[in-house]
Chain A
Amino acid sequence: MSFRQARWDEPAIWDLAPERAAEPPPTIPGIPERMRRKSAVRWPELSELEVVRHFTRLSQMNFGIDTSPYPLGSCTMKYNPKVSELLARRPGAADLHPGQPEETAQGALEILWRLERLLGRVTGLPEVSLQAAAGAHGEWAALLMVRAYFRDRGELDQRTEVLLPDTAHGTNPASARMAGFTTRELPSKEGCVDLAALRAAVSDRTACFMLTNPNTAGLFESDILEIAETVHGVGGTLYYDGANLNAILGVTHPGRMGFDVAHLNLHKTFATPHGGGGPGAGVLAAGEKLGPYLPVPRVVKQGRKFRLDYDRPKSIGKIKSAYGNFGLDLRAYAFALTHGEEGLRHVARRAVLNSNYLGLRMGRSLPRPFRTLVKHEFLLSGSPLKARGLRTLDLAKRLLDEGVHAPTIYFPALVDEALMVELPETESKRVLDEYVAAFERSLADSPENLRAAPRSLAVGRIDEVRAAREPLLSWKDLREAAGKAETPGAVAPER
């Protein structure tokens, strides 16, 4: 292990300049005295270089796909093409206001329209909206559409329940609840939906069954057609969580599998950068049944002109102030246009090939809980570590010392000490082999070294319990904690 991350002794931004008594802000004519700010905003006055250097140093204490393999399962951390960054910064894209007349934004509308048509074909659900800001936002909106659908049918009082497997992303039950449904999680069988349990659970109370396919165990739900039949048989709707669509591009699609509505994450399958926690870009795709309920406006083509159509009487209305995250939609369009049919199919094939290869290699060191034919990701259980007094967490931290990111850990909850691994299609065999080697070195290292990891990063193992027990959530909190004097054990402010 020869990796070392930059370890700048960089002060907080407010400690870069001494605090001075600042002049109150200028008075603006007409603004009543009681609404006027009496003292300047408490924030440092810095030179541009000081600010740039500060944030450049911070950036050097951060892993990204461009610095390290980043095998977070379900997050699909693939290469973010540079050409998309270039295009999104063109004045014709960045310097456009959503409130400017449609005649002056025909190119933007055409890009949105084209991307929607393309995603309609990729998903087999032809009615598409790009309004959602992220995947979870799309989930919630889709469930509001389901609500509106049952309201129209006079069944809303009865259809109160959303069913999901226990492998579902946490956003699924949270979105269902926000949309006003109760949720019931069904135990899975060998990592997949237990068809008998589903048949027993559905009823005329079922509004929706939410499913990810391939699921979060990386397994394709081979009973999908029977699942769809079961849910539709009781008059329920079937929801596709598109977080894992990247595994099945060109092989199957939600429409063919029988789903009524789907969300996609453009920041996963379509390679838009995740930005350290957003922005994302959500997509809503629906079939005939739920299409009329999509948010307004919709992008339509009339003759050779594109416009925003608000005349959708069944629509749920707006879910975001502007239409969508156009800057990201444009990036996704460039990605899809580059790949085309054959390329998108290859995206899925190579992702699945990588995943099965990596599963085979890493599965020699830790048990794999379910069947070994996987799609874009796979699970390992870190339970054997317990015999050495270790946890999956220790292994994850030790991996960071190799200069690689750790897999998703402790999810899904049905696997003890879970690790969820996904290195998508943009990673070469050399990188996969290096990752396996790093993984094996980490496992072979001494328990002391695993517990002491990470040691090569800007900071060592972080005390997360303390963060939650004594919350310090802003500069203001740090000042107040410092003001409470140097009591033993108190967290001192930063230097």
Chain B
Amino acid sequence: MPRWIPDAPGEEAALLSALGIASIDELFADVPKKARIGKMGVGPSHEEAEVVREVDRLLDRNKPLSKFANFVGGRIAPRYSPAAVDAIVSRSEFYTAYTPYQPEASQGMLRALFEFQSLWVELTGLDVANASLYDGATAAGEALLFCHRVRDGGRRFLVPASLPWEEKSVLRNYASGPGLVLDEIPYHEGTGRLDLDWVRAAVSTGDVFGVLADVPNGFGHVDEGVADLKEILGTIPLVVAADPLALSVLEPPGNYGADVVVGEGQGFGIPPSYGGPLLGLFACRTEHVRLAPGRIVGATRDVEGRPAYTLTLQTREQHIRRSRATSNICTNQSLMALAFTVYASVVGPRGLAALQSSLAEKARTLASALGGIDGIRAPRFDAPYLGDFTIELTRGTVPEFLDRLRRRKVLGGHPLADPRPGAEPSPARLLVSATEAIGDKEIQKYVRSARAAMGAA
């Protein structure tokens, strides 16, 4: 039995005798016999050393990204995180705390979250950020519902057809409860840019309550058409899903009319961990704050006039408003928000921009080299990009291509097709990402492997 349950001699007996009972069984007398179970069948207990050995044995069957020349990235970005970030996140005053329901006892986390909200406000050019949501996709889902509250009318929410299929699927689920519909904005075949004429026509039906556009988009490209959307939308809310690192070098979306900016924050100090925990980012304008989802930390004073912080505007939330809450969210991603803030503060604004700049340079080098290979269109779209871009195979399939690369220790990118049977057939495309871990050597390796793969295709 682990040391996690106290078992000092006589301890349990003392508790039982205080209660005047002979056995713990008596405390379950209110569970009807017919509802009882026998064994669960979950196996024996193990010593800590055995657990470490067994879990390590399983983890050894994984091949971490460091074993490859890795070009898989996208919204979930494998980036180096300075050791200082994990040192802070590992402080158990932070990681073993609960949501700060007693603010006086939780000023540390509340202040960190206030700084986190401030940072997302500075990156986005909006007014108010919440204290986090689950991940980028669910933040977009919450933004969809938020737009519906703001607009109060209309059934259609527009998203780019180029949005990753996973995010569309999540958004469809958020839309389905209130009976809303997701519509896809087509893109121009050559550039991947949004078809703004299509948006204009859709908006003129009067049935659109919100529009989401991503920067960079699902193909990795920066589409300046996004900056024209607000003029078309007028009072219809615009959501921009933005990458936080990209915002170190790109115009804050608040400056071109975004009413909401959401994003995936994992790239700032959080390991990819096979997909979670991640970090959902959400910011909006002050006039809409009372319609916003999630926890929000505010600055105030204590009785002696000292600056102090607390969860605020809670009448929006489920524990008070119940079925009329702006969202059901309770537990969010506080510790990940802390990691995000520590990462950005250690790296600094100049460091972030320099990192984005260097990733963009690597991506350009790679794209132009791959573009010279027969059978690969790289980049597929004629549009500017930062660290990610899309390639298209003109022969062979994506799985075959990736398999051949993997045999040469190259992870060639992230397939863009929806893997569900019955999904619409899509072109042989993959998103290729530059990371800090790749240099000229890895780029050359990719190019050699890709050439060989296409030669065999």
Kindly identify, within residues 390 to 405 of chain A, every residue whose CB is under 8 Å from any CB belonging to chain B: 396-397, 400, 405
Taken together as a complex, chains A and B put the C-alpha atoms of A393 and B136 apart, in Å, by: 36
Q: Give the distance to chain A from B371, nearest Cβ to Cβ, in Å.
A: 14
Taken together as a complex, chains A and B put the C-alpha atoms of A63 and B103 apart, in Å, by: 10
B350 sits at the interface (CB 8 A): yes
Interface pair A473/B289, CB less than 8 Å apart? yes
Taken together as a complex, chains A and B put the C-alpha atoms of A106 and B12 apart, in Å, by: 42
Interface pair A99/B74, CB less than 8 Å apart? yes
Q: With A170-B318, A279-B333, A344-B40 in contact, do A35 and B276 touch (Cβ < 8 Å)?
A: no
Interface pair B336/A279, CB less than 8 Å apart? yes
Q: List 16 A-B contacts (CB under 8 A).
A: A55-B112, A65-B96, A98-B76, A118-B43, A135-B331, A174-B321, A177-B323, A277-B109, A277-B131, A310-B420, A320-B138, A322-B135, A340-B45, A460-B303, A460-B304, A495-B307
Q: Give the distance to chain B from A417, nearest Cβ to Cβ, in Å.
A: 16
Q: Give the distance to chain A from B180, nearest Cβ to Cβ, in Å.
A: 10
A296 to B, closest residue via Cβ: B420
B390 sits at the interface (CB 8 A): no
A425 sits at the interface (CB 8 A): yes
Taken together as a complex, chains A and B put the C-alpha atoms of A347 and B5 apart, in Å, by: 8
Interface pair A26/B345, CB less than 8 Å apart? no
Listed stretches A201-209, A230-238, A325-333, A440-448; interface member: A325-333
Q: Give the distance to chain A from B425, nearest Cβ to Cβ, in Å.
A: 15
Kindly identify, within residues 55 to 90 of chain A, every residue whose CB is under 8 Å from any CB belonging to chain B: 55-68, 70, 72, 75, 77-81, 83, 85-90
A4 sits at the interface (CB 8 A): no
CB neighbours (8 Å) of A328 from chain B are 276-277
Interface pair B109/A474, CB less than 8 Å apart? no
Kindly identify, within residues 88 to 102 of chain B, every residue whose CB is under 8 Å from any CB belonging to chain A: 88, 90-102
Question: Closest 6 CB pairs between A and B?
Answer: A322-B275, A275-B335, A92-B59, A62-B108, A340-B45, A98-B275
A386 sits at the interface (CB 8 A): no
Taken together as a complex, chains A and B put the C-alpha atoms of A468 and B289 apart, in Å, by: 11
Report which of B32, B90, B98 forms a contact with A222, defined as CB distance below 8 A.
B32
B217 sits at the interface (CB 8 A): no
Listed stretches B48-56, B199-207, B230-238; interface member: B48-56
A284 sits at the interface (CB 8 A): no
Q: Which of B36, B172, B420 has the most CB of A within 10 A?
A: B420
Interface size of B by Cβ–Cβ distance < 8 Å?
A: 202
Interface size class, chain A: 35 or more
A341 sits at the interface (CB 8 A): yes
Interface pair B222/A320, CB less than 8 Å apart? no
CB neighbours (8 Å) of A262 from chain B are none
Kindly identify, within residues 190 to 235 of chain A, every residue whose CB is under 8 Å from any CB belonging to chain B: 219-220, 222, 224-225
CB neighbours (8 Å) of B122 from chain A are 41-43, 475-476
- Contacts A91-B64, A224-B32, A326-B274 aside, 11 further interface pairs with beta carbons under 8 A come to A31-B222, A55-B88, A122-B42, A273-B335, A276-B338, A278-B332, A279-B335, A318-B173, A340-B45, A357-B19, A468-B312
CB neighbours (8 Å) of A327 from chain B are 271, 273-274, 276-277
Against B, the Cβ 8 Å flags (1 = close, 0 = not) of A459-489 are 1111110111001111111100000000000
Interface pair B28/A352, CB less than 8 Å apart? yes
Interface pair B40/A475, CB less than 8 Å apart? no
B375 sits at the interface (CB 8 A): no
B209 sits at the interface (CB 8 A): no
Taken together as a complex, chains A and B put the C-alpha atoms of A178 and B48 apart, in Å, by: 42
B271 to A, closest residue via Cβ: A94
Q: With A251-B37, A341-B40 in contact, do A275 and B76 touch (Cβ < 8 Å)?
A: no
Interface pair B103/A408, CB less than 8 Å apart? no
Listed stretches B151-159, B354-362, B439-447; interface member: B354-362
CB neighbours (8 Å) of B332 from chain A are 134, 277-278
